Structure 1
């Protein structure tokens, strides 16, 4: 099988996540592994998660980390809005080439945003779809967090996601599956697909960094008893599939599968002049 073939591409980007989903289902959802891991984190003296009410840990691992995906999404929205301005100014050359716009560096910013409109819009749409998918799954499975269940001092019965799942109705008030905090970290996978589009040589390193970030986000919530370990894996799987399908729609397989260019230029300008027309930004 050729590395650049269509079959290899879909096997890597779709087949592996589906195999991982099957493995997580068999190893975690059908066994006691999640509970065994959480039990190891309990304080034997109190039977509670030591970090559950630690305000410093909550702030450092839950509130502050949200800044990264939040700012990324906000920057993409701003970039999308700015990308609409330059085409309008171009209809009036006297405004587009105004010395004030050039000296204040507003014109280069507007030209850059217009040239990368598709990328900004992709990030916005990918973030929105990932949030929608995770919210849908949370509300249609009604899984309660470990500390909310009778296993760890709560009042709710523990259930698996597939026991309550409903396509069109909300079976209960539980909102714990998949991991929401982990998914916020994994949404940065949108940046990886932008890097793949521009054939950035460090795209795989970026992928590893984002995956590690998502797992760190999810694991900190496991330490507090707010999630099981499998919730993080499920969040990563659903966010990957959602973001990948969105990237396919925006860029196409050939742009995402093109081999990386071995040079050290910055991401937004890597090899643009050397790209085929079908791979270049707008």
Structure 2
């Protein structure tokens, strides 16, 4: 991708983020969607967050796999400098590593400063928190200190893999990498919605942020490797 293409993608991501925030802040779409996951008669969510099997498959398991993949990518980049495959894909590996770190850190920071509660914390879903949003804060200081649900943190690890779109050289493989990141992000995000931890908007915002971060990192890394083609391996990588 050239710089113009990067800027177009960045503009699309920022526009989608702004539209998402405006639509969900000005409507009750979040509540309408979340109502379908809450069984009011029993005051339970469709999926029990304490179910060990679902927690392993959709929470602790994916987190462990993502951590292992991250470490493997880092080790591959630093210890396999003589590998032709690594030399050829080095810019892509760097993009994946940096995008993952930046996405997770950004989402974690926003969760700490936005003071938005989870659906399960709201009075309408059996909690004791009033409805509060990104723009309208109705929580007491004590409640705000425990409201850490926006954006969706768990899904950020999955959406960070959107950066796989820049790992490969063949277009079909890039689309497969993008689809993997999108699919995993939504699987993790929907699970958290089904247990009452996040609204739809929380996951959508995380998706937008992950793509924006990925594009920004890819643009910076691409320019860097065009200027210093030898990169970390000490040898010029093939065109990315």
TM-score (norm 1): 0.70
Contact 1:61 1:220 in 2 (8 A): yes
Q: Distance in 2 between matches of 1:192 and 1:25?
A: 25
2:59 is equivalent to residue 62 of structure 1: yes
Q: Distance in 2 between matches of 1:71 and 1:161?
A: 33
Coordinate RMSD, CA, aligned:
2.8
Match of 1:72 in 2: 69
Cα distance, 1:250 vs structure 2: 0.6
Match of 1:93 in 2: none
2:211 is equivalent to residue 252 of structure 1: no
2:37 is equivalent to residue 24 of structure 1: no
Match of 1:265 in 2: none
Pairing 1:48-127 to 2, within 5 Å after superposition: 48-52=44-48, 53-83=50-80, 109=83, 112-113=85-86, 116-127=89-100
Cα distance, 1:57 vs structure 2: 1.8
Structure number with higher relative contact order (C-alpha < 8 Å, ≥ 6 residues apart) = 2
Q: Distance in 2 between matches of 1:35 and 1:248?
A: 37
| CA offsets 1:237-262 (integer angstroms, 9 cap, x no match) | 1111111111111113998xxxxxxx
Contact 2:112 2:148 in 1 (8 A): yes
Q: Distance in 2 between matches of 1:278 and 1:121?
A: 12
Q: Counterpart of 1:159 in 2: which secondary structure?
A: coil
Q: Counterpart of 1:203 in 2: which secondary structure?
A: helix
| Alpha-carbon distance change, 37 to 74 in structure 1, aligned in 2, over 3 angstroms | same
| Alpha-carbon distance change, 15 to 116 in structure 1, aligned in 2, over 3 angstroms | closer
Runs of 4+ in 1 over 6 A off after TM superposition: none
Match of 2:153 in 1: 180
Q: Distance in 1 between matches of 2:47 and 2:2?
A: 48
Match of 1:210 in 2: 181
| CA offsets 1:49-82 (integer angstroms, 9 cap, x no match) | 1313333222221122223422221112212331
| Alpha-carbon distance change, 249 to 236 in structure 1, aligned in 2, over 3 angstroms | same
Aligned length: 224
Name structure 1 gaps, 5 residues minimum: 87-107, 165-170, 256-276
Name structure 2 gaps, 5 residues minimum: 138-143, 227-235
